[in-house]
Amino acid sequence: MNYMSANIRGAGDSKKAEHIRVLKRKNGLGFICIQETQMAISTNAQVSAFWDNTPFDFDMVDSSGKSGGMLNIWDPSLFIKKQSVSNRFFLATFGELKHGGENITVVNVYAPLDKKAKKQVWDDLLALISSASGRGSWILLGDFNCVREACERRNSKFCAESANDFNSFINSAALSEYAMIGCRFTYMKDDGQKFSKIDRVLVCHSFLSRWPAAKLIGLPRYRSDHRPLMLICSDVSFGKPPFRFFNSWLKEDGLEKVVHSVYVSIPPFHPPDK
């Protein structure tokens, strides 16, 4: 199943809905997570604007006034919902992949700007993941309103405390990221001068093991200051492998020493999971 996350800054614009509908159809998306709907979405007609003419099911969190609001939409022929858990800042849809019967939880995240409130969201998500331990794989998509390191911001202030809180949550929840292609930053401030990587996709180890060759793509912005993110898990060709390893090398004395010496010679420049 292929996934997409998009902060659209208002679902009232029909052209935004049409754009997501086209992306869904072209890329065979099975699950779409939308942030900042800025409205209460409660009818099939409203949701269908973001889908196509195929069957769908959905979960939602209404906006608070004209702030926030989240929507999860999925293909019921691929994903069967079992339950959902939500609050103002995340929407978790628990379910099962129809082909293969694997349990998976998709969490749509729209984190607050306030540092303390954001820390509380990480604590709540960690408690949710811990309480459902052993219930299958997890994937968290959305606008986390936080970066992990200074290089993920340009021309804007880096808060080390918030980054440490975020990285601590990711490590405690045993989450990882796929390398993103297509862009370096996902958010551009309205003045066009400030950039950051605050939209992302986090997955648990079992998800990563099940789909190790999945491809995370940052798509062009469309009538929003955020780029949609698309995770392609279906079988795709990535061309020639970047390197080869011959099994015969395992018989060579000193192979482990050579690999280890090269590995430790590389200075760390990312959080451990990267």
Per DSSP, the three-state class of 23 is helix
CA–CA separation, 183 vs 228, rounded Å?
Answer: 11
Residue 238 lies in a domain: yes
Residue 270 lies in a domain: no
Residue 194 lies in a domain: yes
Number of domains in the chain: 1
Burial 88-116 (b: 16+ CB within 10 A, else e): bbbbbbbbebeeeeebbbbbbbbbbeeee
pTM: 0.86
Residue 265 lies in a domain: no
Which domain range does residue 128 map to? 2-248
| pLDDT tens across the length of the chain (274 residues) | 999 999 999 998 999 999 999 999 999 999 999 999 998 877 888 999 999 999 999 999 999 888 899 999 999 999 999 999 999 999 999 999 998 889 999 999 999 999 999 999 999 999 999 998 778 999 999 999 999 999 999 999 999 999 999 999 999 999 999 999 999 999 999 888 999 999 999 999 999 999 999 999 999 999 999 999 999 998 655 556 666 778 888 888 999 999 899 888 888 766 767 6
Residue 272 lies in a domain: no
Which CATH number fits the domain that encloses residue 75? 3.60.10.10
Query: What's the full length of the chain, in residues?
Result: 274
Residue 258 lies in a domain: no
Residue 268 lies in a domain: no
CA–CA separation, 24 vs 162, rounded Å?
Answer: 34
